[in-house]
């Protein structure tokens, strides 16, 4: 798939979910590097940077995307010949894809440890790592049951219930607004993340903060499953995560909206759950309380407070 094709598929959400978006972007950069007929390293670098910028511009919230692109592009050494520069990019892209897949597997293992036999788990949206934890728990023989939300407006819950069904997990499908009605039937919430900030706030599908708030009120633990590349280094220097606002017609058909001139449809795709509502973030490096997010950013993404690098990811 070409870079513009990949960018279009990420934008239209044919490819979605923060981990998949990151791996697909790394693949697109690898394939672009392979096929580029650049006369020299400077021209190669320029073309690669344009491709990287196009990919990063597709969806603003999932930090895994700029983190992946930054990781891959760091393999491009401008001081070597064009073939060496090409190999550098290809190598880093392969490394990212492999370590991402490995991270997803490790998180499933770590997350499953926090799931007990008989647990009833609520999940929101469609997260491969959150689902990975549940599927691994089931594989270990734990009898679990899941409540999965619908996830308006894009219905990612439909993907979630198919995956759970196929894994043989007893599942209840509910509308988003039914979370509070069922929270007392549940004893654990597990969700994924698009971004984790330095103070341990989690950015995930719109509605996650309502779910977490409801869980906190009911004293139900909330676990977030997130690879380290979902942690946002630039929040260390005070940058905020941009919340993507998607087209109104995802929520209300244009033909109805047209008849309602006084109505504005707002469609933010993500929201921010404060660290107070989160008990644990499970990463491939182990489980941490949200307050330890800075350690992940420093140790695994190599960002120190005070080392502000304007060109970095
Ligand atoms: C997806 C979403 C997921 C996270 C984590 O939103 O909010 O919970 O991306 O997913 P969208 P994963 O459907 O708008 O991309 O664990 O698969 O990376």
The whole-number pLDDT of residue 310 equals: 42
pLDDT in tens, 266-282: 999 999 999 999 999 99
Domain ranges in the chain are 3-105, 114-300
20 CA distance to ligand 1 centroid (A)?
9
pLDDT in tens, 70-111: 999 999 999 999 999 999 999 999 999 999 999 999 999 999
Q: Could you confirm whether 125 is annotated as catalytic?
A: yes
**CA dist., res. 102 & res. 132, Å (int):** 12
Q: Which CATH superfamily, name and number, covers 3-105?
A: translation initiation factor eif-2b, domain 1 (1.20.120.420)
The whole-number pLDDT of residue 305 equals: 65
Q: Is 176 in the pocket of ligand 1 (CB under 6 A)?
A: no
pLDDT in tens, 103-162: 999 999 999 999 999 999 999 999 999 999 999 999 999 999 999 999 999 999 999 999
Best residue among 25, 26, 133, 192 to mutate for probing ligand 1, ranked by most atoms within 8 Å of CB: 192
Q: Is 65 in the pocket of ligand 1 (CB under 6 A)?
A: no
132 CA distance to ligand 1 centroid (A)?
13
Q: Is 22 in the pocket of ligand 1 (CB under 6 A)?
A: no
Reported CATH class of domain 114-300: alpha beta
In contact, 123 and 134? CB cutoff 8 Å: yes
Which of 199, 212, 219, 229 shows the shortest CA–CA distance to 289? 199
Mode of pairing for the β-strands spanning 145-149 and 170-174: parallel
247 CA distance to ligand 1 centroid (A)?
18
pLDDT in tens, 196-250: 999 999 999 999 999 999 999 999 999 999 999 999 999 999 999 999 999 999 9
Q: Is 194 in the pocket of ligand 1 (CB under 6 A)?
A: yes
When the pLDDT of each residue in the chain is averaged and rounded to a whole number, the result is: 96
Residue 67 has pLDDT above 80, yes or no: yes
pLDDT band at 304 (very low <50, low <70, confident <90, very high): confident
Interface confidence (ipTM) of the complex: 0.99
Instruction: Please give the full DSSP string across the chain, using - where no structure is assigned.
Output: --HHHHHHHHHTTSS-SHHHHHHHHHHHHHHHHHH---SSHHHHHHHHHHHHHHHHTS-SS-THHHHHHHHHHTT--TTS-HHHHHHHHHHHHHHHHHHHHHHHHHHHHHHHHT--TT-EEEE-S--HHHHHHHHHHHHTT---EEEEE--TTTTHHHHHHHHHHHTT-EEEEE-GGGHHHHGGG-SEEEE--SEE-TTS-EEEETTHHHHHHHHHHTT-EEEEE--GGGB-GGGGGTPPPPPPB--GGGTS-HHHHTT-TT-----BSEEEE-GGG-SEEEETTEEE-GGGHHHHHHHHS---TT---TT--
pLDDT band at 312 (very low <50, low <70, confident <90, very high): very low
**CA dist., res. 82 & res. 85, Å (int):** 5
């Amino acid at each position: 798939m070409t870079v513009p094709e990949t960018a279009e598929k990420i934008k239209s959400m044919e490819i979605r979910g923060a981990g998949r978006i990151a791996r697909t972007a790394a693949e697109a950069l690898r394939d672009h590097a392979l096929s580029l007929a650049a006369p020299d390293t400077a021209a190669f670098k320029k073309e690669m940077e344009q491709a990287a910028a196009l990919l990063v511009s597709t969806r603003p919230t999932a930090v895994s995307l700029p983190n992946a692109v930054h990781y891959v592009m760091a393999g491009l050494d401008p001081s070597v010949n064009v073939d060496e520069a090409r190999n550098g990019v290809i190598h880093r892209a392969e490394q990212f894809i492999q370590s991402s897949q490995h991270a997803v597997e490790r998180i499933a293992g770590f997350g499953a440890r926090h799931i007990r036999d008989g647990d009833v788990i609520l999940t929101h949206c469609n997260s491969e790592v959150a689902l990975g934890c549940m599927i691994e728990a089931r594989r270990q023989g734990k009898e679990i049951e899941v409540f999965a939300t619908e996830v308006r407006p894009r219905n990612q819950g439909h993907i979630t219930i198919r995956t759970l069904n196929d894994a043989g997990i007893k599942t209840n499908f509910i509308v988003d607004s039914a979370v509070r009605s069922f929270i007392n039937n549940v004893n654990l919430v597990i969700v994924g993340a698009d971004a984790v900030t330095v103070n341990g706030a989690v950015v995930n599908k719109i509605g996650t903060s309502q779910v977490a708030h409801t869980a906190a009120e009911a004293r139900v633990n909330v676990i977030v499953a997130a690879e380290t590349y979902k942690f946002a280094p630039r929040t260390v220097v005070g940058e905020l995560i941009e919340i993507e606002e998607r087209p109104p017609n995802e929520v209300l058909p244009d033909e109805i909206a047209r008849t309602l001139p006084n109505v504005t449809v707002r469609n933010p795709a993500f929201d921010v759950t404060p660290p107070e509502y989160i008990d644990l973030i499970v990463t491939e490096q182990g489980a941490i309380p949200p307050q330890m997010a800075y350690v992940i950013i420093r140790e695994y993404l190599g960002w120190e407070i005070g080392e502000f690098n304007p060109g970095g990811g």
